[in-house]
């Protein structure tokens, strides 16, 4: 059984931020709204393109991290690592790339569901903490139940209802926690599956370009790309 609170790869390496960046780039049909001079700079300056992409990725990472965990010396290394991953991702053989994108998309959907579950669990915990701060009501409930039982009044049913609702809440929390931990486990498995696909796809694309350009091959151009793709 997967234990809640164990190391989660997705929490430390939010790969879905690179997926969101790819979506933004793929849907960049609004660039015509920018001033002509800026549009020209973005079109002809490859390194400016990378800088904007890097800052966009950092924005997504900051948005995906809770405010209390948004540390500068954590965000910067994460952004650099994810951008290196992104540069390699767009240099992968197309069949492998499509499979990886599908996995990342699934990971992103599961992260949304996990966040929803965590919110519900936190609400249950807050309710439980609020109840405990009012003091231990168990003795009073037992005394009330005893008195009501002796008098054979109908109020005894309400006490039983309180106990039933309490156990029902605990059962709900247990189910939510199990689903939450299952999603964390599945996401970690999906992340591990990406590694061999990424390595093989990158190697195949690299060897293809090395054979295509031979002595004219440049690793820098291969990684950072060109302004215009060759036909």
State how many domains the chain has: 1
Nearest to 87 by CA among 184, 18, 173: 18
More confident residue, 127 or 18: 127
Per-residue confidence (pLDDT) for residue 37, from 0 to 100: 82
- Mean pLDDT (the chain) is 77
Identify the domain containing residue 81 by its residue range. 9-128+136-224
pLDDT, average across residues 27-48: 75
Nearest to 154 by CA among 162, 166, 142, 145: 145
Nearest to 32 by CA among 40, 24, 23, 22: 40
CA distance 174 to 149: 32
Examine the pLDDT at 22 and tell me if it is beyond 90: no
Residue 160 in any domain: the answer is yes
Residue 153 in any domain: the answer is yes
Examine the pLDDT at 222 and tell me if it is beyond 70: yes
Residue 208 in any domain: the answer is yes
pLDDT, average across residues 38-54: 84
DSSP per position, the chain = -PPTTS--HHHHS-THHHHHHHHHHHT-TTGGGS-HHHHHHHHH-HHHHHHHHHHHHHHHHHHHS-GGG--HHHHHHHHHHHHHHHHHHTTS-HHHHHHHHHHHHHHHHHHHHHHHHHHHHHHHHHHHHHHHHT---HHHHHHHHHHHHHHT-TTHHHHHHHHHHHHHHHHHHHHHHHHHHHHHHHHHHHHHHHHHHHHHHHHHHHHHHHHHHGGG--HHHHHH--SS---
Residue 4 in any domain: the answer is no
Diameter over CA atoms, the chain? 98
pTM of the model: 0.68
Examine the pLDDT at 70 and tell me if it is beyond 90: no
Residue 2 in any domain: the answer is no
Residue 150 in any domain: the answer is yes
**Which two three-digit tokens encode residue 181?**
């931990």
Per-residue confidence (pLDDT) for residue 141, from 0 to 100: 47
Residue 178 in any domain: the answer is yes
Question: In which residue are the tokens 């109020």 written?
Answer: 155
Note the pLDDT tens digit of each residue in 161-206: 444 555 666 778 889 999 999 999 999 999 999 999 999 999 999 9
Residue 54 in any domain: the answer is yes
Contacts 24+ apart (CB under 8 A), 176-182: 176/117, 176/120, 176/121, 176/124, 177/4, 177/121, 179/117, 180/4, 180/114, 180/117, 180/118, 180/121, 181/1, 181/2, 181/3, 181/4, 182/2
Per-residue confidence (pLDDT) for residue 48, from 0 to 100: 84
């Amino acid at each position: 059984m997967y234990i809640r609170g164990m190391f989660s790869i997705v929490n430390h390496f939010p790969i879905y931020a690179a997926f969101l960046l790819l979506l933004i780039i793929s849907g960049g049909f609004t660039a015509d709204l920018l001033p002509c001079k800026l549009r020209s700079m973005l079109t002809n300056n490859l390194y400016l393109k990378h800088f904007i992409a890097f800052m966009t990725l950092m924005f997504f990472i900051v948005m995906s991290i809770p405010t209390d965990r948004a540390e500068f010396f954590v965000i910067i290394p994460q952004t650099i690592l994810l951008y290196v991953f992104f540069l390699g991702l767009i240099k992968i053989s197309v069949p492998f790339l499509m499979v990886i994108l599908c996995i990342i998309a699934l990971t992103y959907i599961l992260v949304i569901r996990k966040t929803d579950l965590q919110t519900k669990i936190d609400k249950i915990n807050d309710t439980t903490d609020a109840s405990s701060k009012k003091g231990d009501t168990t003795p009073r409930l037992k005394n009330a139940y005893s008195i009501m039982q002796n008098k054979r009044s109908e109020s005894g049913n309400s006490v039983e209802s309180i106990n039933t609702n309490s156990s029902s809440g605990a059962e709900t929390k247990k189910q939510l926690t199990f689903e939450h931990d299952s999603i964390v486990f599945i996401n970690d498995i999906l992340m591990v599956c990406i590694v061999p696909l990424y390595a093989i796809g990158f190697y195949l694309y690299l060897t293809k370009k090395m054979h295509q350009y031979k002595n004219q091959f440049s690793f820098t151009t291969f990684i950072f790309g060109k302004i215009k793709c060759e036909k």
